[in-house]
Amino acid sequence: MSQFRDFNLKLLVIEELMYGPAPLLPVYDLPARLAERGIGDPASYVLGNRLHTEVLPESRSHFEALEIPAELLARVQELCFDAGAEVFRHCAPAWDGEDDLFDVRSLDDLALLPNLREVTFVEDGVLAVPDATEVFAARGIDTD
């Protein structure tokens, strides 16, 4: 199993494999998990408990522990650095996209994605790596 160094990049890979058009991983559904505990509205829950500026501990634990087999990582051909990723809603339901909570700060984990060919929202998303365009170009990865 592969170990990611950048949690936020792992989340974007999870976005592709779990919430993409053809999910390959079992979906993690935070609203359903909270509903089991009698919590109806995840956003109200995090705002009321002042948890809106962080990834909920249960979501972080789930996604950090999630092992993604190399054969699934090899199927990732595109990553989208959009702040509106579905996975973020399952981590921080009241996040407004206006801070750096989900910023990707390292691209070292690209080596785990041997077939990555395209990335989108490079300029307008959650990518906070100064030389990202050059890193992608050196790996033959197209950018938008």
- Model confidence band, residue 89 (pLDDT cutoffs 50, 70, 90): very high
Per-residue model confidence (pLDDT) at position 124: 86
Task: Indicate whether 1 pLDDT > 80.
Answer: no
DSSP for residue 104: B
The per-residue pLDDT for range 135-144, each reduced to its tens digit, is 999 999 999 8
Per-residue model confidence (pLDDT) at position 117: 98
Pairs from 62-67 (Cβ < 8 Å, separation ≥ 24) = 62/28, 63/7, 63/10, 63/11, 63/14, 63/28, 63/87, 63/91, 64/7, 66/14, 66/25, 66/28, 67/1
The per-residue pLDDT for range 31-44, each reduced to its tens digit, is 999 999 999 999 99
The model's pTM: 0.95
- Model confidence band, residue 30 (pLDDT cutoffs 50, 70, 90): very high
Per-residue model confidence (pLDDT) at position 98: 87
Structural domain spans, the chain: 7-143
- Model confidence band, residue 2 (pLDDT cutoffs 50, 70, 90): low
Residue carrying the six token digits 């996975």:
87
Per-residue model confidence (pLDDT) at position 144: 82
